[in-house]
Amino acid sequence: MGTAMTRDTLAQILDQALQDVTERTAGVRLNQGEHILGDDLCTVHITFDQGFDTSLTLCADTSLLARMARNSFHEEAVTPEDVEEFSKEYLNVLCGKVTGAIYRATQSDVHFGAPVFYHGRYEPEGQEAQFVLTYTDEHSEGAQLIHHQVPSGEGKADGTDRREQIR
Amino acid sequence: MSKRIMAVDDSRLVRVQLEDTLKGTDYEIVAYCRSGEDAIEQYPVVRPDLVTMDIIMQGMDGLDAAETILKNDPDARIVMVSSLAYDGTFERAKAIGARGFVDKPFHQEQLLKVFGEALS
């Protein structure tokens, strides 16, 4: 992630953050394991800045995100807009947890931009996937958290007010 | 008697989490604000016992809003609730007079401990 951190350490931070945030915000227990994502997918993507030229992509079965949104918002039914709102806020909280853990491990002050939501699978153009963590749950729905390397310069602030960019 | 909380956060997810976490406790959320500007306007009207303040929001951020509220009411009890758990953020929050800092996502035990300290 542009820090002195090893890939294994970063993967461990991401895994712990994802499991903790998912259970606490949505009451869903995700475990790493084999899972083939279905055809109905959503993706949320977030880019880190301040020289940490990386991004995180969460690609998940829409049914999983919808169930997490229903649990989190205490709604019996959710709209596609609710799923989008939940997914972006969820990735925000997840990235907050990740940057906090990176800070504690390396004293590096890492910031990230606003999450972007896509229907279907989105793969950031020109970014190389460093590793993929695959998750599944008791309903056999799943998600992938993908860590990408951003070509140098693309991950940095674009000149807009940073207070509106970082979360 | 319940302690009255004014929650300032633009996240629906965090608002619901806060409600869940405070259910059955001595704290009651009496007002929500989605921005720093809204918080400054609402504070003198609501007169809460405690304010929970997110940091990164659209428009004025939570640290600036907290500073303004504390200038107007030095006795205001404000707890920052944010994922920006960095030394610089802690130091600025402390310097402007915030009474505590809670890391997102929060645990009930942690939240109640910081609230208790902020109100003591």
Task: Tell me the pLDDT tens digit for each residue of B8-20.
Answer: 999 999 999 999 9
Which residues in chain A have Cβ-Cβ distances shorter than 8 Å to B109?
none
- The number of angstroms, rounded, from the C-alpha of B12 to the middle of its chain's C-alpha atoms is 15
Tokens 């300290």: give the residue: B117
Distance in angstroms (rounded) separating the CA atoms of residues A62 and A69: 10
Average pLDDT score over residue span B71-94:
88
The pLDDT of residue A130 is 92
Distance in angstroms (rounded) separating the CA atoms of residues B9 and B56: 9
Average pLDDT score over residue span A29-57:
89
User: What does the mean pLDDT of chain A come to?
Assistant: 86
CATH number of B3-119: 3.40.50.2300
| Among A24, A44, A135, A45, CA closest to A87 | A44
Distance in angstroms (rounded) separating the CA atoms of residues B45 and B35: 16
Average pLDDT score over residue span A58-71:
97
| Among A59, A27, A22, CA closest to A148 | A59
- pTM, two decimal places: 0.85
Give ipTM to 2 decimals: 0.80
Element (H, E) at A103: helix A80-106
- The number of angstroms, rounded, from the C-alpha of A136 to the middle of its chain's C-alpha atoms is 15
Question: Cβ(B86)–Cβ(A103) under 8 Å?
Answer: yes
DSSP E strands, chain A: 31-32, 41-47, 54-61, 116-119, 128-136, 142-149
Among A70, A89, A107, pick the best mutation site for testing chain B contact (most B Cβ within 10 A).
Answer: A89
> Is the predicted pLDDT of residue A158 greater than 70, yes or no?
no
Please, which residues 59-98 of chain A have a Cβ atom closer than 8 Å to chain B? 72-74, 85-86, 89-90, 92-93, 95-97
> Is the predicted pLDDT of residue A11 greater than 60, yes or no?
yes
Which residues in chain B have Cβ-Cβ distances shorter than 8 Å to A99?
83
Which residues in chain B have Cβ-Cβ distances shorter than 8 Å to A88?
none
| Among A96, A29, A100, CA closest to B9 | A96
Distance in angstroms (rounded) separating the CA atoms of residues B115 and B106: 12
